[in-house]
A and B are shown apart, each in its own frame.
Chain A
Amino acid sequence: MELSAILLQVLNGLDKGSAYALIALGLTLIFGTLGVVNFAHGALFMIGAFCAVTTQRLLSISTITIDETKTDFLGKPLQIKTPIVESWFGESVGQALIDWSVPLAILLTIPVMLIIGFVMERGLIKHFYKRPHSDQILVTFGLAIVLQELIKAYFGANQIPAPAPSVFIGSFDFGALIGMDAGKLLYPYWRIVYFCFALLIIGLVFAFLQFTTFGMVVRAGMADRETVGLLGIDIDKRFTIMFGIAAAVAGLAGVMYTPINSPSYTFGTDFLVISFVVVVVGGMGSLGGAVLAGFVLGILESFASMRQVIEFIPGINQVVIYLVAIVILLVRPRGLLGRKGVMES
């Protein structure tokens, strides 16, 4: 097998791993800080993705003029739509805005997801801290269904394309960068953007927890909530904020993922189960573990999807993540970087 083929799958794995890692990171924050099993986390990722669709729709709000010379499929005069942004900012700026709607959607996603996170935590999750995990599962699962159905009722069930800005369409000669022959290893621009974006978000979250007083308190709270509470620190308020941040991370993971796969209302469930596996393989309560496991499982999944591997072990591409999870959990009882006593009973 050629080196370029292997490198290609490493890149694919890092890309897949980015999405897994971002979702798992948020899940771990919620597990670790609040002790809540959040089955609605996939739905948050999906809502993030639909922020991109919404932004696209908002920017494309149009005025309708009727062109009498042309007809539509029923033989009636054709309606011509002109986006309002085009008439406001001129055609070129307007079109550029629509073209960049996915990155622009980040501006919408952050506030929307923070608000959803705060409302969710204060309005619902707060009342479930002292309830058994089974109750948390049922209520968050119910919430996930409700969120999905609301999106489906408004946007329909079909996938909605949300393309990347046109400058990012096409591939980047990654091989030439690392000294291979030109054209040997091409990789799509947007997937590289996504990977870098994920690293940035992960870096920001870690820096926030590591270098700010706020983060220090939260980390202390994760380790021993009661003691921190006894010290007179209002840990609840900080945990609410952490929930909002976790929601925002999931939303950002979703919004930037839309050019890679067109979103539909079931977008989140595809990731939910794997993200739980990622979190547990990484080790409960370990943020670093979640990120590490996300990338490791992403890369393994990519390798297992190679034709040469499938021909050797049929079906391996479908089970590799679960198989690896089982082996890791049997060899390392608390996952890669887990601590003792977290969510073990």
Chain B
Amino acid sequence: MSSKNNLLNKPVTRRSVLKASAATATVMAAPMIIPSTAYGYANEPKGAAVTLGFNVPQSGAYADEGADELRAYELAVEHLNGGGDGGMMGTFSSKVLKGNGILGRKVEYVTGDTQTKPDAARASARSMIEKDGAIMITGGSSSGVAVAVQGLCQEAGVIFMAGLTHSNDTTGKDKKANGFRHFFNSYMSGAALAPILGDNYGKDRKAYHLTADYNWGYTTEEAVRTSTEAMGWETVAAVKTPLSQTDFSSYVAPVQASGADVLVLNHYGANMVNSLTSAVQFGLRGAQVNGKSLEIVVPLYSRLMAKGAGENVKGIFGSTNWHWSLTDEGSKAFVRSFGEKYGFPPSQAAHTCYVQTLLYADACERAGSHDPCAVAEALEGFEFDGLGNGPTLYRAEDHQCFKDVLVVKGKENPSSEFDLLEIVEVTPAAQVTYDASIFGGELGSCNSGA
């Protein structure tokens, strides 16, 4: 066995070591600058390639959303490596990406299955870090997974670019120095929705909340309650429903008799599809209560959910991070390259994942390094435009993006199977911005794994 003395290193970096040992030959041939230190940071790329880890749900209820995220990642990798039409790289306000990979290194990737379980997601992320030498982990379709994997990346010293996660906690109570979120959150949904609800349904309403019994459900209920109560609405009741619930009949049936005239479904994914279906079956939508027509609100919408719920979504308000029907240049470029490659428009999950990959690559280029701490510094306080949401700020205090929020509603007369939501209002970023300290938690210091 060879010498052990100089080989003690913390987070396990497998490919990097190999590349170090096999390096001499390649280094001579390739015209690149290799940092002199052996291990500046975790999984420091030594060869001509850099590995990203795409950790998405491939089994379970969110598998289709995960598949869409993976498509977006593959597209982003293609664009970063100079393939395809370049997508949003052409409209992105930062112009440092050249289509020659990241810092001249070809972008490679590994994929894994989060199963939408914190345990499995962490196992998958650990294998990417330990086995494949991934230098950045991204993806996911639930806040539980995002918080768990973000914690892991903080410990291992790699960057985590969150995928679809909407809970306040991801960049609030559980924020981490190595974690970044482009997607919006519950607070923003509440702040954007309330004025629209007020305009359409009036300021004198009684709301009944059904809330999925987990982290995301709580923050969403709280956000919508706070913002609607501030406007004059009254909350009649808030009932927690088990995450694994499939038949919501016994939860929606008592709504009408409670005297409430708005039903807020703080549900996502299968929960939302099933609860909305039950609510519509029970004739809640449009029922007459207090001389008003009973309305249903879904704070977080996705197109896949709208598809699952079919006819039931028509006319129902909600919010979304991005929608393919936006007409700014960035969105159009993204929809075009995604649509040409896969034959249908991208979902909001696909959009946020694509953008996160680009933002990461861009930050590496601007920092001139893959070092997580340098990348984090480059992302903090970064202002950009042209990625589909208008001018956006990556706030340094909590690593949350601030940008416009879309208020949407289920379309009455869809022109195609993808045309399920229509944009009612683009709420400006200023209206959904909050003080970074309100959710508590601390970032800690950046960990480069060195």
**Which residues of A are in contact with B by a Cβ distance under 8 Å?**
2, 4-5, 8-9, 12-13, 15-16, 70, 72-74, 78, 152, 156-161, 163, 169-171, 186-188, 190-191, 259-262, 264, 266, 270, 301-303, 305-307, 310, 317-318
Given B244, B250, B336, B416, which contacts A306 in the complex, CB threshold below 8 Å?
B250
Chain A residues with Cβ under 8 A from B308's Cβ? 158-161, 262, 264
Closest 7 CB pairs of A and B: A161-B310, A157-B63, A159-B308, A305-B250, A158-B64, A171-B283, A302-B250
Interface residues of B in 288-327 (CB under 8 A from A): 304, 307-312, 324-325
Chain B residues with Cβ under 8 A from A158's Cβ? 64-65, 304, 307-308
Chain A residues with Cβ under 8 A from B60's Cβ? 157, 266
User: What total of chain B residues lie within 8 Å of the partner, measured CB to CB?
Assistant: 49
Contact of A188 with B282 in the complex, beta carbons under 8 Å = yes
**B418 sits at the interface (CB 8 A):** yes
Supposing A9-B253, A188-B282 touch, asked if A152 and B63 sit within 8 A by C-beta, the answer is yes
Chain A proximity of B81: nearest CB distance (Å)? 23
What per-residue 1/0 map shows which CB atoms of B225-258 lie under 8 Å from chain A?
0000000000001011010101101110110111
Contact of A306 with B254 in the complex, beta carbons under 8 Å = yes
Contact of B254 with A5 in the complex, beta carbons under 8 Å = yes
Q: How far is the CA of A306 from the CA of B59 in the complex (A)?
A: 32
Given A2, A191, A259, which contacts B249 in the complex, CB threshold below 8 Å?
A191
Chain A residues with Cβ under 8 A from B62's Cβ? 157
Chain A residues with Cβ under 8 A from B250's Cβ? 9, 12-13, 16, 301-303, 305-306
Chain A residues with Cβ under 8 A from B64's Cβ? 156-158
Chain B residues with Cβ under 8 A from A160's Cβ? 308
Contact of B63 with A310 in the complex, beta carbons under 8 Å = no
Q: Which residue of A lies closest to B419 (CB)?
A: A73
Q: How far is the CA of A170 from the CA of B340 in the complex (A)?
A: 41
Q: A15-B249, A73-B339 are in contact. List 6 more A-B contacts (CB 8 A).
A: A4-B257, A5-B257, A72-B416, A74-B340, A186-B283, A187-B282
Contact of A260 with B242 in the complex, beta carbons under 8 Å = no
Q: How far is the CA of A260 from the CA of B418 in the complex (A)?
A: 23
Chain B residues with Cβ under 8 A from A266's Cβ? 60-61
Chain A residues with Cβ under 8 A from B309's Cβ? 159, 161, 262
Q: Which residue of A lies closest to B282 (CB)?
A: A188
Chain A proximity of B184: nearest CB distance (Å)? 22
A-B contact count (CB 8 A): 118
Supposing A8-B254, A157-B62, A317-B242 touch, asked if A188 and B283 sit within 8 A by C-beta, the answer is yes
Q: Can you list 23 residue pairs at the A/B interface with Cβ under 8 Å?
A: A5-B257, A9-B250, A72-B416, A73-B418, A74-B339, A152-B63, A157-B59, A157-B67, A158-B304, A158-B307, A159-B308, A161-B307, A169-B281, A171-B283, A188-B282, A191-B281, A261-B274, A261-B277, A264-B270, A264-B308, A266-B60, A270-B244, A303-B250
Chain A proximity of B402: nearest CB distance (Å)? 28
Contact of B249 with A157 in the complex, beta carbons under 8 Å = no
Chain A residues with Cβ under 8 A from B283's Cβ? 170-171, 186, 188
**B273 sits at the interface (CB 8 A):** yes
Chain B residues with Cβ under 8 A from A307's Cβ? 237, 239, 254, 258
Q: Which of A8, A74, A190, A307 has the most CB of B within 10 A?
A: A307
Chain B residues with Cβ under 8 A from A171's Cβ? 281-283
Chain B residues with Cβ under 8 A from A4's Cβ? 257
Contact of A73 with B335 in the complex, beta carbons under 8 Å = yes
Chain B residues with Cβ under 8 A from A264's Cβ? 61, 270, 308
Q: Which residue of B lies closest to A148 (CB)?
A: B59
Contact of A310 with B310 in the complex, beta carbons under 8 Å = no
Contact of A270 with B246 in the complex, beta carbons under 8 Å = yes
Contact of A74 with B277 in the complex, beta carbons under 8 Å = no
**B157 sits at the interface (CB 8 A):** no
Chain B residues with Cβ under 8 A from A190's Cβ? 281
Chain B residues with Cβ under 8 A from A310's Cβ? 239-240
Contact of A157 with B281 in the complex, beta carbons under 8 Å = no
Contact of A262 with B281 in the complex, beta carbons under 8 Å = no
Q: How far is the CA of A48 from the CA of B63 in the complex (A)?
A: 22
Contact of B61 with A260 in the complex, beta carbons under 8 Å = no
